[in-house]
Amino acid sequence: MNDLDEDPIPVTRTVDSGTARLLPDIDRERAWLLTIDGSPQSYVDLDDPRHLEFEYARRVGHLLDLVAEPGAPLRLLHLGAGALTLPRYAAATRPGSRQHVVDLDAALLELVEEHLPLPAGSGITMAAGDARAALEAAAPAGADVLISDVYAGSQVPAHLTTLPYARAADRALRPGGVYAANLADAAPLRFLACQLATFGAVFRWLALVAEPAVLRGRRFGNIVLLASQHEMPLRELARRCAGDPFPARVVHGPRLERLAGQARPVDDGDPVPSPEPPDGAFSIG
């Protein structure tokens, strides 16, 4: 019998990346928080996959709503699984979408599949593997949206920050496709500057979505990087993000150039992971 058939109780399991816990939300009947080593990774409401609890996920959800006509199916490649929050969202809002999810942590995928099962006919497939290797092996021009939400512990792995990686992302996207990455940084925003320089060397259009305090370097936090070879629906995205419980700003154009400053694109010879968050930035008790 699945744990979800009874009163929900926390689930703890050692996975490849640490100690994973599934914690039930007492305010939502079949909603769960996934943590790894105490750091929140994903939030899923099995009864309402359209509900996006985490702010960065909500911002990517707005993008998914806007990249095509409402309800039109998409092809999506997800690097990083968590509890499959965004794949579930896309399956619910765009029925018929074909989605592939890659995560290095095979034991985590098994845990999620066992305790937070996908609905029948979701169109979501999963595989264990390295994100960059999977991206480089992906069919050219096969994805409408490529979402990267990969963390090794609390940092974006260095090999997912370089020019060859950005070029592989470009090859995997269809014309008009969009790359979206969940990054994290704080003052002086050097990691973000290097990512702007790196993806700006490959993609014609870039944008950032984050809370103003994060973009000003006042605190550590998530920043969504968007990249495409075609213009993106940034005006409507900005309107939706401004109306969220924790409003975010969409930044593009000259301000991005100021944020990038004199940063140079990162090559495979000198990659660096994203900075370590300060103690307590994302952890829970």
At position 75, the amino acid (one-letter code) is R
Q: How far apart, in whole angstroms, are the C-alpha atoms of residue 130 and residue 185?
A: 23
- Six-digit token pair at 63? 């993008």
pLDDT value at 180 more than 90? yes
Give the model's confidence band at 73: pLDDT under 50 very low, under 70 low, under 90 confident, else very high: very high
Average pLDDT over residues 38-47: 95
What domains can be seen in the chain, in order of their start residue? 55-260 (3.40.50.150)
Alpha helices per DSSP H over the chain = 55-66, 85-93, 106-115, 131-137, 163-172, 190-200, 212-215, 234-242, 254-260
- What pLDDT does residue 282 have? 56
Q: How far apart, in whole angstroms, are the C-alpha atoms of residue 166 and residue 237?
A: 23
Distance linking the first and last C-alpha atoms of the chain: 29
Average pLDDT over residues 237-266: 96
Q: What is the DSSP string of 146-204?
A: EEE---BTTB--GGGSSHHHHHHHHHHEEEEEEEEEEEEE-TT-HHHHHHHHHHHTT-S
pLDDT value at 7 more than 80? no
Mean pLDDT of the chain: 94
pLDDT value at 90 more than 90? yes
Average pLDDT over residues 218-229: 96
- What pLDDT does residue 1 have? 38
Q: How far apart, in whole angstroms, are the C-alpha atoms of residue 270 and residue 266?
A: 6
Tokens 């359209």 -> residue: 50
Q: What is the DSSP string of 239-252?
A: HHHHTSSS--EEE-
At position 88, the amino acid (one-letter code) is R
* DSSP-assigned beta bridge partners for residue 126: 101
Average pLDDT over residues 109-123: 96
Asked if 189 and 213 touch (Cβ cutoff 8 Å), the reply is no
Give the number of other Cβ atoms within 10 Å of residue 227's Cβ: 26
- Six-digit token pair at 212? 């103003």
Q: How many helices (H) and strands (E) does the chain have?
A: 9, 12
List the one residue out of 18, 40, 265, 11 whose CA is nearest residue 152. 18
- What pLDDT does residue 281 have? 59
pLDDT value at 112 more than 90? yes
